[in-house]
């Protein structure tokens, strides 16, 4: 105690800072940094959990890039991204833009759009899976049948399955995006709109010259946030296609599901680690490109 009392104020601050930080720094080193390094190292090894780890150089990566399933999965992952992000962004903007102008029952309507965000992806994947079943089980097909429209194979067709899974994911995330857009809209000073009204500017011009440019930080955030979400899609796919995860014929399988399969069904730890490194690289590149593009324009 005497030692502590002899310290200067700034030295005391240093002592306190490290008392506060000791445990967390240990946590980040052991639970975040060491595993990251481990994943990189593992990606150059071959290991099935039982024998020894064996260095194989770039063999895992070579195997990955020559694997047709990987390229199929790669394509699927980007399909989720390039279909999901714009659709959810445009939809949520339209909803937020109009909801911002509505006063009557504003809170209730906002809650209706936000509720799905509070649900668990697994639970809702099962609800949607039920909706997609053929007649007489599925809600959608029953509904269509009541108008005399033929059945649609939602989850069992290789062309329809991916969009069907995606619809559930878009639905679940829409509420969050609406809320963030509305907060962005609220932050635009009313005086800009008043000035535009005095000048007699049309609604479209107001939208394209004032609203959207001033929303850019919100848009950047949501584009990055939602593309990362779609690139990492797993819960919905796994639960909507459990009898054959990623099926039919790998048509819905995203990268994360491939990683899960390789590691925990195939016990190919090194190969799976190489896949995670690829995922990491994709996420990094996509978010850097988007930040760059949206900041420059």
Partner 1 sequence: MASQDIAVKPFTDALFSGSSRNSRRNMGQFIRWALLFGGGILMIMPIVFMVSTSLKFPFEVYNLNLIPEEPTIENYTYVLEDGRFYRWFVNSLVISIITTASAVFFDALVGYALCKFKFPGRYLVFIAILSTLMIPTEMLVIPWYLMSKSFGWLDTYWGIMFPGVMTAFGTFLMKQFFETVPDDFLEAARIDGLNEFQIWWQVAMPLVRPALAALAIFVFLGNWTAFIWPLIVTNSVEMYTLPVGLSSFGDEVDVAWELIMTGAAISTLPTLVVFLIFQRFIIRGVVMAGLKG
Of 66-74, 117-125, 157-165, 191-199: span binding partner 1 (CB under 8 A): 117-125
Considering only the stretches 60-68, 82-90, 118-126, 191-199, report the one whose residues sit in contact with partner 1 under the rule CB under 8 A. 118-126
> Looking at the chain, how many residues does it have?
297
- Nearest-approach distance from CB 198 to partner 1, in angstroms: 18
Instruction: Report the distance separating Cα 45 and Cα 24, nearest Å.
Output: 30
Residues 23-42 that bind partner 1 (CB under 8 A): 23-25, 27-28, 31-36, 38-39, 42
Residues binding partner 1: what is the number (CB under 8 A)? 96
Q: Smallest distance from the beta carbon of 290 to partner 1, in angstroms? A: 14
Select from 55-63, 94-102, 154-162, 192-200 the region that touches partner 1 (CB under 8 A).
94-102
Residues 134-173: x where in contact with partner 1 by CB under 8 A, - otherwise, as a string:
--xx-x--xx---------------------------x--
Min. distance of Cβ 119 from partner 1 in angstroms? 5
207 binds partner 1 (CB under 8 A): no
Residue 131 binds to partner 1 (criterion: CB under 8 A): yes
Judged by CB under 8 A, the residue of 16, 55, 65, 71 near partner 1 is 16
Among 7, 118, 149, 293, binds partner 1 (CB under 8 A): 118
Query: Contacts with partner 1 in 217-276 (CB under 8 A)?
Result: 218, 221, 225, 232, 234-235, 238-239, 242-243, 256, 259-260, 263-264, 269, 272-273, 276
Least distance between partner 1 and beta carbon 77 (Å): 12
């Amino acid at each position: 105690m005497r030692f502590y009392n002899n310290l200067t104020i700034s030295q005391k601050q240093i002592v306190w800072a490290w008392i506060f930080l000791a445990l967390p720094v240990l946590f980040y080193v052991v639970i975040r940094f060491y595993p990251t390094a481990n994943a990189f190292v593992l990606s150059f090894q071959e290991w099935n959990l039982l024998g020894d780890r064996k260095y194989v150089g770039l063999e895992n990566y070579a195997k990955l890039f020559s694997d047709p399933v990987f390229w199929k999965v790669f394509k699927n992952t980007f399909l989720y991204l390039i279909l999901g992000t714009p659709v959810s962004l445009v939809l949520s903007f339209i909803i937020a833009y109009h909801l911002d102008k509505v006063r009557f029952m504003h809170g209730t309507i906002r809650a209706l759009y936000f509720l799905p965000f509070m649900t668990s992806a697994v639970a809702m994947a099962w609800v949607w899976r039920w909706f997609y079943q053929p007649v007489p089980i599925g809600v959608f097909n029953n509904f269509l049948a009541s108008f005399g429209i033929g059945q649609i194979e939602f989850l069992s067709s290789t062309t329809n399955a991916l969009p069907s899974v995606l619809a559930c994911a878009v639905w679940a995330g829409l509420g969050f995006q609406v809320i963030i857009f509305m907060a962005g809209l609220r932050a635009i000073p009313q005086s800009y709109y008043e000035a535009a009204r005095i000048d007699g500017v049309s609604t479209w011009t107001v939208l394209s010259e004032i609203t959207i440019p001033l929303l850019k930080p919100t848009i950047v955030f949501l584009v990055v946030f939602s593309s990362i979400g779609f690139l990492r899609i797993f819960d919905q796919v796994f639960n909507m296609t459990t009898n054959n995860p990623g099926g039919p014929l790998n048509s819905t399988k995203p990268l994360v599901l491939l990683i899960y399969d390789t590691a925990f069904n195939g016990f190919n730890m090194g190969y799976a680690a190489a896949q995670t490194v690829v995922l990491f690289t994709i996420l990094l590149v996509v978010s850097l490109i988007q930040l760059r593009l949206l900041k420059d324009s």
